[in-house]
Structure 1
């Protein structure tokens, strides 16, 4: 028998999850449920769904933040399913990486069509959740950094620096790009922030003399995480 396509439903409303489960399982989908943002992000990584139905009004974190975090490492099709129907909400979701937007209350036939279209446009390659360079391994959804198999404790800001550099490994990441990604557009001139945090990261990932230097400074421009693979 053909394997059922796996759909992750991230919604805090139990009646909606039940409706979607009954509807989708009746149309040959396998349904996985998450009732809040953090559980949804974790399950997106561990369960490897082929499509995500995402509510924006989650109790612990805005759905747009979930969308942004998942898009950092995954191109899984995401259909936003929410009561928020303003043009601004739709634009924010689509700009944030959503494949489509369906408002509640929704028509089941319309939802199924939108899902089929999103699945047709999806890339079939397996998703990558771990990024490596030499002894450095970064698990983005798990927020885990390891050097030579040893987990390194980083602050949230330090992890974000490593994440951005790793996603562009081998390339120079400018001060402006790092500052904008981590602190926002109002901080793009504060390069002293980076010197302090990058220095702290370098110390933490340099376990001993045998560990290679992984972050190089491009004077006056930015930083580069070396591609050692």
Structure 2
């Protein structure tokens, strides 16, 4: 019987880092942990790699010789839900917030603690693996397909922005239980949720509700005042 951590090994991790010494050092650390690890040094190389390969996680530097990590992260988000962990020497809080809002899942500042970085990688991979265990949800005639990231009802199709999508999946996966604002923020931004403003979850919930109204899911999300939110319609997992 394999442990939960054992099941995360042999996952593919892409490192996008222009500091060759740091990149190779990090690659060695991850390989010791049994991750299949790749290293590229620019935005162009990363895009070429991601056009051919599908890693399970991307560790992304902020400043690269031919662009910045924010733009690359946005490009990744248009194509996949692969977790993105920013690893950068920039410790400005505004940059952390920007990294999370452009689709990053976590933000670690150099110099970093190796055990902490490995733990955060495991959290992101574990969260992604749990999502992979369900191929779709159905609620009130709407099919939420995990593979295509589409919500479909009859001839109506909805593709949600990444933040709204992650929040929807978190609510659907809660089995009708109330999900706190803190839990929702963690589901979207992992450890970086500490940097997110208090009203952010309310804003995203508001946007999500408006999207859902168009496919017949008006009123699906109930507010538990002062605590969080709950999906009140019946849900089936497939």
The interval holding the TM-score normalised by the smaller chain is 0.5 to 0.7
Q: Relative contact order (alpha carbons < 8 A, sep ≥ 6): 1 or 2 greater?
A: 2
Q: Give CA deviations for 1:154-188 in whole Å, capped at 9, x if unaligned.
A: xxxxxxxxxxxxxxx9669xxxxxxxxxxxxxxxx
**TM-score, normalisation: structure 2:** 0.51
Aligned to 1:11: 17
Which residue number in structure 1 is paired with residue 110 of structure 2?
Answer: 104
1:32 to 38, 52, 61: 38
Q: Please point out which of 116, 124, 127 is paired with 2:132.
A: 124
Q: Say which SS state the counterpart of residue 31 (structure 1) adopts.
A: strand
Over 3 Å counting, the alpha-carbon distance change for 1:171 and 1:118 in structure 2 is closer
> 5+ residue gaps in structure 2?
1-6, 134-154, 159-238
Give yes or no for contact 2:24–2:39 (8 Å, CA) kept in 1. Answer: no
Instruction: Give the 3-state SS of the residue equivalent to 2:132 in structure 1.
Output: coil
Tell me what 1:48 maps to.
54
CA-atom RMSD in angstroms: 2.5
Please give the per-residue CA displacement for 1:81-137, whole angstroms capped at 9, x wherever unaligned.
Answer: 000111100000001111101111111101000000011111328xxxxxxxxxxxx
Q: Kindly name which structure, 1 or 2, has the bigger radius of gyration based on alpha carbons.
A: 1
CA distance in 1, matches of 2:14, 2:99: 18
1:121 counterpart SS class? helix
Aligned residue pairs, count: 131
Does structure 1 retain, via aligned residues, the 8 Å contact 2:16–2:39?
Answer: yes
Consecutive aligned runs of 4 or more in structure 1 exceeding 3 Å deviation: 169-172
> TM-score when scaled to structure 1?
0.53
Runs of 5+ consecutive residues of structure 1 not aligned to the other structure: 126-168, 173-229
Distance change in 2, residues 1:73/1:18 (3 Å): same
